[in-house]
Structure 1
Amino acid sequence: MSKQLRVFHRLQAAHSALFRAADRHLRDTVGLGNAQQTILFMLMREDGLSLGSIARQLQLGKPGVSGLVDRLEAGGFAERRPDPDDARGVRLHILPAGRAAAQRAAPITKAINRELLAPFSESERDTIARFLDHLAMQAEPIVASKVAALSPERISS
C-alpha cells in the first residue's frame, strides 16, 4: 500500500519556509520584501500598470496591493500617477530607485531558482513546472469540486 502524499500540507510548508527565507534575505540585501520586489519586476516589464492589473497578476485583493504600493511609494521605489484613460484610476510607475532595487534583486532571485532546481534532472524539472502550472491554472476548480462534494449537507446525508 502506497503512502498518500500530502500535497496541500507540503505546499503550505514549502511556501512558508521559502518565502519567509527569501523575504528576510531580500529585505537585508535589497531593502524590499518578496512581494514588493515582484511588483518592481512587473513594472520593469511594463511600466504604468493599474493596481487592478497588479492585483490580478499577484492574485491578491486590491487592499493588499494598496498596502504594498504604499510601502513602495514611501521607499521612493514607485509612484502612483493618474490614469490618462480613466479619471478615477491610477497607474503605478517605477522610479530610478525601484529600477536599481529590481536590478539588485534579479540575480538573487535567479540564484535561488537555480539552487531550488539543482537536485533535479531536466525531466524532473519539466514535471515540477507542469505540476506548478497545473496548480496555478486549476486550483479554483480542484478545490471547489472537492468542497462541494464534501459540503456539510452532503456529509450528513
Structure 2
Amino acid sequence: MSNRLVFDLMIAERSLRRCIDARSGDTGIGAAGAGVLFHLAQHDNALVGDVSAAMCASPSGMSGLVSRLERAGFLAKTPDAGDARAVRLSLTPAGREAVGTAKSVVRELNAAMSEGFTEAELTVIDRWLGHITHRLT
C-alpha cells in the first residue's frame, strides 16, 4: 500500500481538473464552474453562501467564479428578498444547456475512471472518498 495517499490524491485531483478543463472547450466553465452549475441544477435560486458551502469554496474564490459564470451568461444573480445583503443564484437557459453538456463529459470520465474496477472496488473507493470529505471538513 502506498504511504503517499495525500500526495497521490492531490495529483489525481489535479489530473482530473485538467482533463475537465480541456474538455470544456471554449465555454470557459472548467471543473469548478461545472460544480457550481451542477449544484444550481439541483438547487436553483440558491444563496451564494450555500453554494460556497456545498463546493467547499472560500467566499473570495466563489465570488470570482460566480462573476465569471455570470459574465459568460450561465447564471443570474438576484438580491435575496429577505436579506438585501444576500445574493441568490439561478441558472440561465445557457447555464441549463451547459449542465447537459457537462453531464455527458462527466459520464465519459466516470466510465474511463472506473474501467477495470469491479463494482465492489468502486463501492470501497466511493466510501473512502466520502470518508475523507466528511472526516476532514
Q: What is the percent sequence identity of the aligned residues?
A: 34
Question: 3-state DSSP class of the match of 2:57?
Answer: coil
* Partner SS for 2:136: helix
Aligned partner letter, 1:36: G
For residue 11 of structure 1, what is the aligned residue in structure 2?
Answer: 9
1:130 to 127, 130, 134: 127
Over the aligned positions, Cα root-mean-square deviation in angstroms equals: 1.4
TM-superposed deviation, 1:105: 1.2
Greater Rg, structure 1 or structure 2?
1
SS of the counterpart of 1:87? coil
Three-state SS of the structure 1 residue aligned to 2:77 is strand
1:43-94 CA-to-partner distances (Å, cap 9, x unmatched) read: 1111111110011011011110010100011001111101012121110111
Q: After TM superposition, give the deviation of residue 133 of structure 1 in Å.
A: 0.7
Instruction: In structure 2, list runs of 5 or more residues that go unmatched.
Output: none
Aligned pairs for 1:91-102 within 5 A:
91-102=88-99
Q: Partner residue of 1:152?
A: none
1:30·1:105 contact (CA, 8 Å) conserved in 2? no
Structure 2 counterpart of 1:72 = 69
Shift of 1:5: 2.4
1:22 aligns with 2:38: no
Q: Deviations over 1:83-125 (max 9, x none)?
A: 0121211101111111111111111111111211111111111
Matches within 5 A, 1:73-88: 73-88=70-85
Give 4+ residue runs of structure 1 displaced > 4 Å after superposition. Answer: none
**Per chain length, whose mean CA-contact separation is higher, i.e. which structure has more relative contact order (CA < 8 Å, sep 6+)?**
2
Look up the SS of the partner of 1:88 in the other structure. Answer: coil
Structure 1 portions without partners, runs of 5+: 141-157
Match of 2:101? Answer: 104
2: distance between equivalents of 1:104 and 1:114?
Answer: 16
TM-score, structure 1 normalization: 0.82
Partner residue, 1:43 = 40
Which secondary structure does the structure 1 equivalent of 2:107 belong to? helix
